[in-house]
Chain A
Amino acid sequence: MFVFAVLAAAACSLPAFAVLGEDVSSVQADRVHSNASMRVTTAQNYTIHELRSATGVVVREYASASGKIFAVSWQGPTLPDMKQLLGSYFEEFQKAAQSQNRPGGHSPLIIQHPGFVVELGGHMRSFVGRAYLSDQMPSEVSNQEIR
């Protein structure tokens, strides 16, 4: 049920990704301005745009049929640019992360706000996480599919 196409990488300086909550057209625009390669996968109710940056971080952007990015996930040796990735939700993420700060900084960061969820885990040299807009998920899509 999955099909994908590999698109050529374009070279520029900053790795940049599309933004949570914005239109999928920003994926294509960002890819051109990034050093990322991209793969598109189609599922029943959404498409996944997977970008691999030069730092080895893989970012997946989940776009609804109407073209809105309702979820992102990431995995790699470092974190992606969360400011770029979360867009208008970055400030909410940053504030929540500050208020949840616990001694050590080694435990996963789980933020569950109404309509906005961020989960961040891993360790030095390997980070993994996801963020999604829970009230903007297409119907019949489970958050278990965001990974």
Chain B
Amino acid sequence: MKFSAMMALGLTTVSLACGGGSSHKNSMLPIAVSASNIQPIVVNSGPAGNYANGLFTSVTVCVPASSNCQTIDGILVDTGSFGLRILSSAGGGALTLSLPQQKASNGTVGECTLFVSGYTWGSVNTADVMIAGEQASNVPVQVIDPTFAAVPSACKSAGVPENDSLQTLGANGILGIGPFAADCGEACDQTGSSNPGMYYECAGSSCQIAAEPVTQQVQNPVALFPGDNNGVIIQLPALTASAGSLSGSMIFGIGTQSNNSLGKAKVFPVNSSGEFTTTFKGQTYPAFVDSGSNALFFLNTNTTGLSTCSNSSGFYCPSSTQNLSAVTSSGSPSQTINFSIANADSLFSNRGDFVFENLGGPNPGTFDWGLPFFFGRSVFTAIEARSTPAGTGPFWAY
């Protein structure tokens, strides 16, 4: 990840609420721009000014059943996680609104949320969440706050860094809109050794692992909308060259309105881990679609022939751009995906660019179809147990 001076974002709450109105001359896709279920999204350097391939939007949170609200932009749009997490001002984030904390039998509820290369720590709070014209009431959200209680040792023993500041998170929050409704599920409602240690009961600064009922866990807000609640579409234009920013749309609901039908999209059911498969050079690997991953992360140098970078740790740096192909599948439906990987050190050398189509990196034994996969596609994410015209979620379609 490169670091460069903060760029002017040119993005305000007002322009987001009005749909942005940008043109998309480089797109083959008609990008929907305005309806009550459409939210503008943008790929740019984000609120910390240093994010490559970060997809951002704004979210309004309110103290439940009140007009006491705050609109927060620079929230990362993430189909690889579930639930809304907002960085508190104590962590350098934009959130200053005081949202009520979720109570436990003896204190309040805390959460240690593991992402792959970092964790977020903070309290579980309740908010009404408004995005575009949609509103979800009484949504459990995480307020990321390094000053909330001491980080439990079980959370620290994962060894990955705490992402509790604007600098380490690169965003004012994360909007997890992947194919599940709750961030953990049944496992976190268990007591004893089978509980993975994500939820805590905190009295003062001391926190103990606690069972958390599924519906009280941090929730994908889309699943709690009164309508348009079976999933979401991410639409971004195709990219012909690296750019400073790229605008698109997030559309709520699948087959619930005239603007969110599946059309000719192929449906790929996902398993209980939120995965399907991808076949590359004759071998089949677990795979997932993740707008919150900032590159195509797959396999390693031995299997891809792509060398890693000398400067940009965690990315591929082939000497010339490589055109590759893989097949995504889930049982019988399958689709060939063509993609290219360029030299990340070269891509990052242009300081004005923050949107990259050909950015890739290694990933142990797995295919992570990150943000570049979304360019030039409408990608549907259907939520578990919700019906759509193409069957019940969870699935991806594109």
Q: How large is the interface on B (under 10, 10 to 19, 20 to 34, 35 or more residues)?
A: 35 or more
Q: Nearest Cβ in chain A — how far from B75, in angstroms?
A: 12
Judge whether B116 and A55 touch: CB under 8 Å.
Answer: no
Judge whether A120 and B197 touch: CB under 8 Å.
Answer: no
Give A residues with C-beta under 8 Å from B: 13-15, 35, 53-56, 77-79, 81-84, 86, 90, 93-94, 97-98, 100-110, 112, 119-130, 143-144, 147
Closest chain A residue to B292 by CB distance? A106
Judge whether B198 and A83 touch: CB under 8 Å.
Answer: no
Residues of A within 8 A of B192 (CB): 13, 54
| Interface-centre pick from A82, A83, A108 (highest chain B CB count, 10 A) | A108
B269 at the binding interface (Cβ < 8 Å): no
Closest chain A residue to B274 by CB distance? A125
20 contacts between A and B (CB under 8 A): A55-B194, A55-B196, A56-B187, A78-B197, A90-B159, A101-B163, A107-B293, A108-B314, A108-B362, A109-B116, A119-B362, A119-B363, A121-B116, A121-B366, A123-B274, A123-B293, A124-B81, A124-B115, A126-B274, A144-B302
Judge whether B169 and A128 touch: CB under 8 Å.
Answer: no
Judge whether A106 and B363 touch: CB under 8 Å.
Answer: no
- Binary A-proximity of B298-333 (CB < 8 A = 1, otherwise 0): 001011000010000110000000000000000000
Judge whether B180 and A125 touch: CB under 8 Å.
Answer: yes
Residues of A within 8 A of B159 (CB): 82-83, 86, 90, 93-94, 97
CA distance A108 to B120 in the complex (A): 16
**Contact among B1, B114, B365 for A79, CB-based, below 8 A:** B114
User: B-side binding surface: helix, strand, loop or mixed?
Assistant: loop
Judge whether A83 and B157 touch: CB under 8 Å.
Answer: yes
Judge whether B116 and A108 touch: CB under 8 Å.
Answer: yes
Judge whether A124 and B117 touch: CB under 8 Å.
Answer: no
- Binary A-proximity of B196-235 (CB < 8 A = 1, otherwise 0): 1110000000000000000000000000000000000000
Among all A-B residue pairs, the 5 with the closest Cβ atoms: A103-B170, A105-B118, A102-B1, A78-B196, A83-B157
- Binary A-proximity of B76-91 (CB < 8 A = 1, otherwise 0): 1010111000000000
Judge whether B50 and A103 touch: CB under 8 Å.
Answer: yes
B137 at the binding interface (Cβ < 8 Å): no
Closest chain A residue to B156 by CB distance? A83
CA distance A128 to B302 in the complex (A): 18
- Given the contacts A55-B195, A123-B368, A124-B114, A104 and B157 also touching, CB distance less than 8 Å: no
Residues of B within 8 A of A81 (CB): 154, 157-158
Judge whether B313 and A100 touch: CB under 8 Å.
Answer: yes
B356 at the binding interface (Cβ < 8 Å): no
Closest chain A residue to B159 by CB distance? A82
CA distance A81 to B154 in the complex (A): 8
Residues of A within 8 A of B81 (CB): 106, 123-124
Judge whether A84 and B364 touch: CB under 8 Å.
Answer: no
Judge whether A101 and B168 touch: CB under 8 Å.
Answer: yes
B178 at the binding interface (Cβ < 8 Å): yes
CA distance A103 to B3 in the complex (A): 10
CA distance A4 to B288 in the complex (A): 31
Q: Nearest Cβ in chain A — how far from B227, in angstroms?
A: 26
- Binary A-proximity of B338-380 (CB < 8 A = 1, otherwise 0): 0000000000000000000000011111101010000000000
Residues of A within 8 A of B302 (CB): 143-144
Judge whether A104 and B273 touch: CB under 8 Å.
Answer: no
Q: Nearest Cβ in chain A — how far from B151, in angstroms?
A: 13
CA distance A126 to B163 in the complex (A): 19
Judge whether B363 and A108 touch: CB under 8 Å.
Answer: yes
Q: Nearest Cβ in chain A — how far from B93, in angstroms?
A: 13
Closest chain B residue to A129 by CB distance? B364
- Given the contacts A120-B117, A125-B274, A77 and B196 also touching, CB distance less than 8 Å: yes
